[in-house]
Amino acid sequence: MVTMDEERVRADQGSSSRRVSRTKSSASVEMAVPEPTPSPKDASPELFFDDEDEDMEMDEDDEATQPLGEAEVERLADLIEKLDRAHLREETEIVDAPPSYNDSVECIALLRRGFVASKFSENYDFKERLNEERVRMLSIYPLTEEMWVDWLHDEAIHADDILGKVGVMELWAKSVAHEAGSVTLWKGYVKFILRTWREAQRRADTDGADDEGWAETFNFELVNLVLSKAVGDTMYNVPRSHEVWNKYCELQILQLKAMPPGSQSKIEKIQRLYLDRLQIPHQDIDSTFSAYSSFVSTYLPSSDYESIMQAGNKVYQKAKEALEKRQRFEYRLRNSYGQDEEGQAWSEYLEWESSQNNPDLGKALYQRCVLRYPTDSAAWEEYICFMLEKKGSDPDVLPLLELATAHCQWSGVLWSHRILAFDVRQQPLESIERIKHQATTSRLMEDKEENFKVNLAWCGVLKRRGVAKGIDDTDFDSAQLGLRSAVSEFGPKGVDKDYRIARLLVAFLTEIDDLPEAEKVWKDLETDKDMGRSGEYEFWLRYYGWAFRNLGNSGAVAVLKRAVTYWETLDWPEKIIDVYQNQIEEHGEGAAIEGAMMEIRRLRKRVARRRQQEALEAEQVAQAQAVAIPVGFDLKGKRRRSTNVEEDDELPHKKARASEDIDVGSIPPVSEETEAAEADQNGESSAEKEKKNTRDREKLTVFAKNLPPDVDELTVRKFFKDCGTINAFTMIEADDNSATASIEFQNAADVLAAQTRDKKRLNGREITVQLGFNTTVYVTNFPPTADENWIRELFKECGPILEVRFPSLKYNNHRRFCYVQFDASEDAEKATEMNGKDVEGFKLVSKLSDPNVKQERSGAVYEGREVFVRNIDYAATEDDIRELFSKYGTVKSIRLISKGRGVHSGYGFLDFETTESANASLELHEQKFKSRKLLVVISEPQGGAPANKKSSGKTQAKFPNGAAGSPEVAGSPMSTTASELPEAPDTDAIRQKTLYVLNIADTVNDSKIRAVFEKYGSLHKVQMQLNHQAAIVEFDEVKDAGKAMLALDGHEIDGRAISFGSRQAMLKTGAEQKAKPGLNPFAKKKEDKKSTTAATSLAPVRVHRPGVAVRGGKTRMGLGFRSSARKDEDEEKKEGDTKPKTNADFRQMLLKGKADDEDRE
């Protein structure tokens, strides 16, 4: 159970044997009781809370009153069993992981749903378990305001006697202590006290004797006390403080009316209350000033009205100006759209408020922020730093630190702040030790780094207290023992990378003049096998500095002499040698200097030889990489699965080609995997892929149905805004009567919250919220030309289809699968019956979507049967290569990459029948074949862009015969002779029969493009350019290109109207941008820190070779050369291809085509 500060409430909701007395009721709120004041007998809670305050009431009609379904009961049973196992650590230590926050929230929500479904029955079987889970969760995690309200409402329902009422009152006090500054909770607390006070009055008037002591326990003084505390805790909350303050002011005026006429002291007190309030910026300040005017005219002399109001107006205007400065920030908080925007709004508001000279308003804003983000340790840290900077001596700092560590028990930084604050304020060592023990034994303190931060703060306290004057022997021994124990615990494990605890021990021993023991710690750091630091120059500099200060010149020289003996392993030996030389020169004597200089000279030679050897090894590595890694490969020699046109355009043989501006060039074709296997390939790095696999879209999606047909996305988003972070939102096309929205949330708790919106009203219409689980079908292995309409037609008999989602093809144009979202799980089950059905010659795959199930890929590259061969003699033919490699096993296929006109590029791919054959062929690596040494490696699949360059997203179409790209540049057999080589194509002719198709969605593949365009003539090739939302279509005949352009301008493909333009227009268009989920607004940004070497001699040697392609496929050039990108621009301008073709141009092309046909005839 979280223990609050002694000034806070210490109450256990489960207590059942309380003695009710006036003393007890006063102690429950821990405040000084004011002098007795008249109680207004005619007062009623309804005078203070009107209809607008019914937000604290729980309406059964708004709850999900249906009993839990069978699946929910099973889920609840699983959660209870799981949480019970996790909580065993309270009794045993066999469980490492604490209960999950989401599991706890979900379990409480399901238990409460059952309670609500039972009409809040006192005989509900799991009522005790519900409260047990709430108490358990509170001991580890914070409860939200909504969870507190639910709990308090449930307890109040059956609290009929005075013991029950006192128990609920204590629980309210606990809630406002845990969630400081919560207007929602304080309003509920005040309302409960007012109603209980009214009930106590009624019982006293009815019973007369009041044997139970209702009137004595719940008296007017208690009401006044709670309201005073509520005002004090919320008065600086700009948008909502008036909701509590106005009720308190009304109570004071009601009390004044009950007093004899002319109660001047009370009038002055209320006037001061108004003036103090008018100094504080708050949303309802105009109403406050108007109420003040009415009060002055009613209770103060009319002759003084003008002067009093003039003085009050000065105060009011100043606060009004302060309010107006904050209104723009408040507006952004109220109207922020999405997690990112809201987080940015909070950050900017807090930064601005922190710069103002009003700590109370700043504190209130930080209170609101941590109420919004209760488990964000960074938000709490900012809050604490603000308080320490602005109000360092404020007694509220210690309770604040207690609240912070209760909300974020896993944060070592917050515990460290708390330990330091107690130390600075001279709290007893026993109290600080209890805090340290509470932190390190918390079930959430699992991260070693965070645990180390706590222990480091504790060791700092031990060191300071251990050397303090007047310390007794017990504290001294405890300090030394604690420091040594911490060194043993954290030194060998690598957590204390800078040996900070060991240095604290050295400082402690030095201050108590135990230099031998201090030096022993240094020597242990040098030689210990687990925490040895002999190879770190920074360690030796620190050791040398300590020795020079405490052991003199001889001790410092002895340290440096030991340091230079590690010259072979030191990370910066030059630095240590320089320090050694300076020490000798400045503090040495005679012969000692001469001998040391000779030693230093020998050391410098040895280090120079070491650096030369390192440089030679680095150069050899660089040479090996430059030779072994082909263009299109990463540094590990793995073949890139994406095809990068820009890189291939920079190959030397490509620069000589006249058609460089439109030809994609020769690229390594993708392996011959099955289409189903390729459907799973997504073009991302393995780390990114693994991260994305954890996103379970189906389980995190809800469908909002029966929405008004004219509703917009913003309205629906705001309706679900308080439920949690929305990752994705899709408004599904509406019919005449209603619309449906698909909403994906960030986690299961958000989905649970969204379900509470079921049966709520939006724009006057009752909506339905339905889970999306088991309503999505994964479909693949359908015809490549299939689009959304085709899919809908295929599955229309299964039931209403809400949505069809195709994947992005930006990184792999051959992905062929989609997700079909049905209205109900029964319809999805029916769709799975089509699994295995033959559809246009394809065996359809149709299964329920499960993100945790991944289809195994097949094909030569995934089975390790494909080898990549480079440095092939240009005179070698396919038959020569097959003959050479066949001695290791059967070669199924050979794909030599062509550079055009039947000449291969010197590299290619071979597929063996078995993996063993492929591995055996590696014997040919670096073996001479004809005039060149072969380089042979096993091809490895790589899903994403290489580490040193993002994938361009440009892919080459796969033709029916399996070749990639145009026939003359694909990996077709090299069986033609030189005399049979075709003539080089005419550049102008190619340009005229090539179309640049714009506005292509990234879900469109080359097969769909081919299906649309080949109706107008035979195609030479299709090249997707999805990074530019485009495709390049080359016809065999110019006239066919003209026909296609005239007919297809404005034609829709996958819902987007295509257009035609120039290559330059295409390149200016970027990739399609899609929304991403928001991030925590207080998450600290990780900066990429480039490691800097200690000396230039440590930098790796860079090998320069003229014309060697470097990262990005560019060639390194010196001064006076223009980049290839600029060169391409100039060539485009010369060719005049800077304007899109018009209809007149294509009519001319058509006429020219007809004339050519006539000439041939």
| Same domain for 1059 and 919 | no
Which whole number is the average pLDDT over 213-233? 88
pLDDT at position 670 over 70: no
pLDDT at 979 over 60: no
Based on the domain organization, do 913 and 964 belong to the same domain? yes
pLDDT band per the 50, 70, 90 thresholds, residue 231:
very high
Lowest mean pLDDT among 596-600, 634-638, 687-691, 815-819: 634-638
Query: Angle at CA 29, nearest 5°, toward 23 and 34?
Result: 70
- Residue whose C-alpha is closest to residue 464's, from 497, 434, 419, 496: 419
Same domain, 1155 and 1070: yes
Mean pLDDT of 707-724: 86
The answer to whether the CB of 445 falls within 8 A of the CB of 454 is yes
**Shortest CA distance to 839 belongs to which of 786, 796, 894, 763?**
786
**Residue 369, pLDDT score:** 95
Which residue type sits at 66? Q
pLDDT at 697 over 90: no
CA 895, CA 656: separation in Å to the nearest integer?
23
Q: Are residues 1009 and 1143 in the same domain?
A: yes
pLDDT of residue 755: 85
What pLDDT shows up at residue 65? 66
Q: What is the rounded average pLDDT of the residues 1033-1055? A: 88
CB 1013 within 8 A of CB 1044: yes
> Residue 281's pLDDT is what?
96
Confidence band for 987, pLDDT divided at 50, 70 and 90: low
Q: Answer whether residue 366 is part of any domain.
A: no
Residue found under tokens 């295509």:
1058
Average confidence (pLDDT) over 483-503: 82
- To which H or E segment does residue 1025 belong? strand 1019-1025
Q: Taking residues 874-885, what's their average pLDDT?
A: 90
Q: What is the pLDDT of residue 582?
A: 93
**pLDDT beyond 80 at 948:** no
Average pLDDT over residues 971-980: 34
What pLDDT digit, counting tens, does each position of 302-317 carry? 999 999 999 999 999 9
| 441 falls within a domain | no
- Among the residue ranges 189-193, 341-345, 958-962, the one predicted with the least confidence is 958-962
As a whole number, mean pLDDT of residues 691-703 equals 69
- The model's confidence at residue 746, banded by pLDDT at 50, 70 and 90, is confident
Instruction: Indicate whether 860 pLDDT > 90.
Output: no
CB atoms within 10 A of CB 462: 28
Quote the pLDDT of residue 718: 85
| pLDDT at 1078 (0 to 100) | 42
The pair of structure tokens assigned to 393 is 């001596």
Give domain status of residue 272, yes or no: yes
1052-1053 vs 866-870, strand pairing mode = unpaired
The stretch 659-671 carries a mean pLDDT of 33
Q: How many domains does the chain have?
A: 7
Residues 864 and 932 both lie in one domain: yes
What does the pLDDT read at residue 974? 33
Q: Which of 288, 306, 335 is the last residue of a domain?
A: 335
pLDDT band at 426 (very low <50, low <70, confident <90, very high): confident
The pLDDT assigned to 701 comes to: 87
Domain assignment present for 41: no
Q: In three state form, how does the secondary structure of 940-982 look? A: CCCCCCCCCCCCCCEEECECCCCCECCCCCCCCCCCCCHHHCC
Does any domain span residue 795? no
The pLDDT of residue 363: 93
551 and 591 co-located in one domain: yes
Q: Is residue 414 part of a domain?
A: no
Do 77 and 152 fall within a single domain? yes
Predicted confidence (pLDDT) per residue in 123-179, tens digit? 888 888 898 989 988 888 888 889 999 999 998 888 888 888 899 999 999 999 999
**Is 595 a domain residue?**
yes
> What is the mean predicted confidence (pLDDT) over 352-362?
92
Residues 1117 and 1144 in one domain: no
Position 769 pLDDT exceeds 80: yes
Of 292, 312, 335, the one marking the end of a domain is 335
How many whole angstroms separate alpha carbon 264 and alpha carbon 284?
27
Does the pLDDT at position 226 exceed 80?
yes
What's residue 772's pLDDT? 80
Residues in the chain: 1161
Give the pLDDT band of residue 206 (cuts 50, 70, 90). confident
Q: Is residue 642 assigned to a domain?
A: no
- Domain match, 558 and 607 both: yes
- Please state, in angstroms and rounded to a whole number, the distance separating the CA atoms of residues 910 and 880: 13
Residues 6+ apart with CB under 8 A from 853: none
Cα–Cα distance between 297 and 304 in angstroms, integer? Answer: 9
CA distance 888 to 300: 110
User: Which of the four pLDDT bands, split at 50, 70 and 90, describes residue 900?
Assistant: low
The answer to whether residue 1091 scores a pLDDT higher than 60 is no
Do 1144 and 1128 lie in one domain? The reply is no
The pLDDT mean for the chain works out to 76
Any idea what the CATH number is for the domain that residue 935 is in? 3.30.70.330
Cα separation, 892 vs 895, whole angstroms: 10
Lowest mean pLDDT across 6-15, 105-114, 190-199, 987-996? 6-15
- The domain of 724 spans 699-773
- Is the same domain home to 948 and 872? yes
Last residue of some domain: 984, 1010, 1028?
A: 984
**pLDDT score of 236 more than 70:** yes
Residue 551 scores a pLDDT above 90: yes
pTM of the model as a whole: 0.54
- 993: Cβ contacts below 8 Å, ≥ 6 apart: 1020, 1034, 1035, 1036, 1037, 1038, 1040, 1041
**Residue 872 sits in the same domain as residue 978:** yes
Lateral strand order in the sheet of 739-745: 726-732, 739-745, 701-707, 768-771
- Averaged pLDDT, 558-566: 93
Instruction: Give yes or no for residue 692 having a pLDDT over 50.
Output: no
pLDDT digits (tens, 9 = 90+) for 501-548: 999 999 999 999 999 999 999 998 888 766 678 889 999 999 999 999
Q: How far apart are CA 301 and CA 390, in angstroms?
A: 42
Q: How far, in whole angstroms, is CA 405 from its chain's centroid?
A: 23
What pLDDT does 685 receive? Answer: 44
Residue-wise pLDDT for 25-40, tens only, equals 333 333 333 344 455 5
- Residue 394 has a pLDDT of 63
Cβ contacts of residue 23 below 8 Å, gap of 6+? none
